[in-house]
Every structure is written in C-alpha cells, then in structure tokens.
C-alpha cells in the first residue's frame, strides 16, 4: 500500500509539472533586459523562458544584472491570421504574443507606446526580426490600448458571468408578484452583463421590474432576489426605483418615449456596473483612464417594449459636454431585456445604444420645448441660501451646460427635507429644493436643483449642490416672476 502511494504521488507531480513545463525560446537577436543602472554591454539576453499553465503563463528573462519574472494573463486571440494569443502582466507593461506556442513576440510598453521588443522561437535555427513582426502587427500595435481595454472587459465579463450563472437560472423572482401596467413594462428582465450589488462578491443578471401606476407619480422598481430578504441584513439589497414626474409624463404623452429620472433613492447606488474614465496623455490627447463603477443613480429609458437602458450616474451625454462620440468611447449603458427579446437586444452594441439614447433625448427635449409650464411657486426666502444656490448653479452650468445662461434661483421646497440613516434613524443631512431659472438661446426654462447640508450630530455643515435637472420650458413673459 505504501509503495502504491509513493507511485501515485510521483505520478501526480509528473502530471502537474507537465502542465507547467518551462519552455525556452531563443531570440533572433540580442535583447536589452532593462535592469536599472545596469551596464548596457552586459544587460542583454538571447533567450526567454515561458511556463504555460492554462489559462495563464509565467514569463521569465534576465541578464547578469537582474531577472524579470512576470505572471501573465491570457487576453485571448489578437490576430486570427497569425494565430497570435496575447498574454499581459498585471501592470499591462510587459507581455508577449504566442503563435502556436512556437514563436514568441515580447511586448513592452515604452514611453507610453506598446512595441515588440524581441522575437524568439522554440527552434534556435529559425530566425525573425523585430521590424518584420512590427509590420505584421502594425494595426494591433496602433490600437493596442483599445484592444487591451476590450480584452479586459471581455475577460472581466467572462469571470462575472461565471459568478452570476446561478442567479440567472434561479426561479425565485418568477414566483414574486408581477404587476399589470398600461405599458406592459413589468416582468422578468436579464442584464446583458453582470450588475454588482452592495454585498461582498455578489453580482446579479436577473431582475424583476415592476411599473407601479397606483400613485400620483408612477414608479418603476427594479428588484434582485436580494430585495426580498426579510431576516438577514447582510443579504439584503433594497430595490432600485425610478419615478415619472410631471415633466416626464408631459413629454411621454407627446412623444410615446418612456424615460424617467432617479427617484431620490439612495439605494440606487447599490446597483453598480463598470464604465471607463477619460484622462489625458502628455500630449493632451484623450485616452482611457482606470475603469470605475457607476450605478443606477441616473436615467432609465425604454428603448423598445421589453428592453430598458440605464445610463448611470455622470454617464449621460451632457456629462460628456454633449459630445456623443466621447460618450460612446468612454461611457457604458446597462441594458435589461425580457427573455423574448434575447435576439433583438443583440443589435444594441454600445454605439447603437448611445445613438438610441441620443435620439430619445432629442425627442424629449423637443417635446419640452413645445410645452408651456408654469414656474413652481416660491415657498420662502433665505438670502444666504439663495446666494449660495445662484453661485452653485452658475458654476454647474458653466461646466456642464455652457449654452445655458442662469438668470436667478429661488427656493421651492416647503421646508428642509431631513435624511436619516435607515438603520439607526440618526440624521445624516438635510436637503432643500431649489429652482434654477435659465435662458437657452431665446427660450426660457427652469431646472430642479437641490442644496444639501451634512449633519455632524450638533450642527449642519456648509452647503453643497446636487446639480440641475432637465430643463422645463415656460413662457418668457413669466421670466422674472420670482426674481
């Protein structure tokens, strides 16, 4: 028995080693290793070593001065014609392209650009040149940042899809109440990519959407299975909600476009998804920054029956200075769809989805331009708050809506709205509704805004501004009604 056990252990070691066996590749010309402060004459190598251990690989090369050892992730196919598979390290500055595990092209980031630093082959007698391979991969190298980002997103989605497999097939939500509504919006929806919930390592792709028309203002609720937890707080994520206020209802009746803004629900930010940031290179060019998490604290649109778009916080086209091209490049739209729309939803690539959002925004704005609303009534005066609000509104418009000219602000809230912690009941802050009166070209409009003041247990702090909402147009003869 002991002898058999020893044989079994030896066999297991042999199998493990065979899966991660080191392979030496010979460079066609000397390559600089890049050791800090090293003598250039000795900081050279003629070979690199790679251990393939699916799906990743371990890259090693060095000189007399130092040694680089990098664990690299498989980023998938880079060039179908050559069969090149891309592997990159965690910092995305060193990696390699493997062509059928026989030829290796070492990739390094140098002065912000990705370059082929060396060509190596498993057969020492086979030659190759950096210039020739650079020409073969010129298109990939030119768009390497974009390719990396695309591959990273695909890899991330694959990993998250694995985490949400159980959620997608869970039938719990199917057994909950689905409301009947005039638009047929309520029902079970699936997201095209996983949505991160405010629980450790928890993602969801299946949601119950209920459009509740029973109150004065219709509300659209989005529930994950975790919204129904009743006993364990650590497993509870409150539903997200969006409301259809008077302005949007007016637009809806004229354009048959459903769109609504976030319902002042702090729980909407517990539904998150990845998007991209924009930064500048040394030349001032716009490039991708780090990915970040946006959330459902934004606008929701019905692209067509059974398909919903959620444009996350700071993700609308106005946040991109109304630049649709930049929104397409850096923004991501969360898409929910009913099962019967699984084929139809595939047409909504990120670019097509942004085009649809832009189309609906134009319809909404056109309908808004055509309406004549009354200014909301002023409720009380507070010169200090009003002065702060005017400064905030002008700064906000200058940065986000340069075509708007702020005329004045006034208070339309009946009183301060006290916001409390949902668990302890302690006061967190207070908010006050502000109306911002603007001119857009020759037209007059008002926008809803808000002032907030955090509470430290004894006093309320300095005022902060919550931003301005969509413009609601009114007759310019009433422009100075509350000035």
Contacts of 214 (CB under 8 A, 6+ apart): none
Q: pLDDT tier at 344 (50, 70, 90 boundaries)? A: very high
Q: At what angle do helices 246-255 and 350-370 cross, to 10 degrees?
A: 100
Q: What is the pLDDT of residues 434-463, one digit of tens each?
A: 999 999 877 888 988 889 999 998 899 999
**Separation CA 309–CA 273 (nearest Å):** 13
Contact 326, 278 (CB under 8 A): yes
Q: Which of 225, 230, 165, 234 is nearest to 199 (CA)?
A: 234
> How crowded is the C-beta side of 225, counted as CA atoms within 13 Å?
17
Burial class (CB in 10 A: 0-12, 13-18, 19+), 386: middle
Q: What are the contacts of 243-246 at 24+ separation with CB within 8 A?
A: 243/217, 243/218, 243/219, 244/217, 244/218, 244/219, 244/220, 245/217, 246/217
119 forms bridges with which residues in the sheet?
A: 105
Query: Which pLDDT does position 104 carry in this prediction?
Result: 95
Contact 174, 186 (CB under 8 A): no
- Asked whether the predicted pLDDT for residue 252 surpasses 70, the reply is no
Percent of the chain surpassing pLDDT 90: 37
- Asked whether the predicted pLDDT for residue 477 surpasses 90, the reply is no
Q: Which of 289, 298, 308, 301 is nearest to 209 (CA)?
A: 308
Sign of the alpha-carbon dihedral angle for 300, 451, 439, 322: negative
Q: What is the pLDDT of residues 393-443, one digit of tens each?
A: 999 888 888 878 999 999 987 788 888 887 888 898 998 999 999 998 778
Contact 70, 36 (CB under 8 A): no
- Asked whether the predicted pLDDT for residue 11 surpasses 50, the reply is no
pTM over 0.85, yes/no: no
**Separation CA 137–CA 132 (nearest Å):** 9
296 backbone dihedrals φ, ψ, rounded to 5°: -75, 5
Sign of the alpha-carbon dihedral angle for 321, 324, 330, 333: positive
Contact 51, 23 (CB under 8 A): yes
Query: Which pLDDT does position 14 carry in this prediction?
Result: 40
Query: Which pLDDT does position 418 carry in this prediction?
Result: 87
Measured from the Cβ of residue 181, the count of other Cβ atoms closer than 10 Å reads 17
Q: List domains and CATH numbers for the chain.
A: 23-142 (2.40.128), 152-370 (no CATH), 383-478 (no CATH)
Indicate the helix (H) or strand (E) that contains 435. Answer: strand 427-440
Contact 451, 467 (CB under 8 A): no
Contact 321, 313 (CB under 8 A): no
């Amino acid at each position: 028995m002991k002898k058999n056990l020893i044989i079994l252990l030896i066999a297991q070691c042999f199998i493990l080693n065979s899966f991660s066996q080191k392979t030496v590749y010979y460079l066609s010309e000397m390559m600089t290793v890049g050791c800090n402060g090293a003598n250039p004459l000795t900081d050279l190598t003629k070979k690199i070593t790679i251990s393939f251990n699916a799906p990743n690989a371990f890259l090693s090369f060095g000189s007399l001065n130092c040694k680089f050892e990098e664990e690299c992730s498989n980023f998938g196919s880079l060039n179908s014609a050559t069969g090149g598979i891309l592997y990159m390290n965690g910092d995305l500055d060193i990696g390699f392209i493997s062509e059928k595990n026989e030829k290796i092209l070492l990739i390094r980031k140098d002065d912000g650009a990705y370059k082929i630093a060396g060509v190596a082959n498993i057969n020492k007698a086979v030659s190759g040149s950096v210039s020739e391979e650079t020409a073969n991969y010129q298109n990939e190298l030119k768009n390497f940042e974009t390719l990396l980002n695309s591959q990273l997103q695909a890899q991330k989605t694959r990993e998250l899809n694995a985490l949400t497999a159980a959620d997608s097939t869970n039938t719990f939500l199917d057994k909950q109440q689905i409301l009947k509504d005039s638009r047929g919006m309520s029902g079970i929806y699936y997201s095209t990519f996983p949505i991160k919930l405010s629980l450790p390592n928890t993602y969801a792709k299946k949601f119950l959407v209920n459009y509740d028309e029973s109150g004065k203002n219709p509300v659209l609720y989005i529930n994950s299975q975790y919204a129904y937890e009743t006993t364990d707080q650590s497993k509870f994520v409150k539903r997200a909600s969006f409301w259809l206020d008077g302005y949007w209802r007016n637009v809806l009746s004229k354009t048959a476009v459903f769109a609504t803004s976030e319902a002042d629900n702090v729980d909407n930010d517990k539904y998150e998804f990845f998007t991209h940031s924009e930064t500048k290179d040394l030349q001032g060019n716009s490039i991708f920054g780090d990915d970040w998490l946006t959330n459902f604290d934004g606008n929701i649109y019905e692209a067509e029956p059974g398909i919903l778009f959620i444009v996350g916080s700071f993700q609308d086209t106005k946040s991109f200075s109304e630049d649709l091209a930049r929104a397409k490049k850096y923004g991501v739209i969360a898409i929910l769809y009913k099962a019967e729309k699984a084929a139809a939803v595939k047409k909504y690539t990120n670019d097509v989805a942004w085009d649809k959002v832009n189309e609906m925004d134009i319809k909404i704005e056109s309908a808004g331009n055509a309406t004549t609303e009354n200014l909301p009534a002023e409720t009380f005066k507070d010169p200090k708050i009003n002065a702060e609000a005017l400064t905030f509104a002008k700064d906000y418009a200058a940065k986000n809506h340069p075509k708007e000219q702020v005329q004045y602000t006034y208070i339309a809230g009946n009183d301060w709205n006290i916001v409390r912690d949902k668990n302890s009941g302690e006061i967190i802050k207070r908010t006050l509704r502000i109306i911002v009166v603007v001119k857009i070209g020759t037209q007059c409009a008002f926008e809803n805004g808000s002032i907030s003041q955090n509470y430290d247990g004894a006093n309320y702090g300095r005022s902060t501004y919550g931003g301005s909402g969509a413009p609601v147009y009114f007759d310019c003869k009433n422009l100075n009604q509350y000035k």
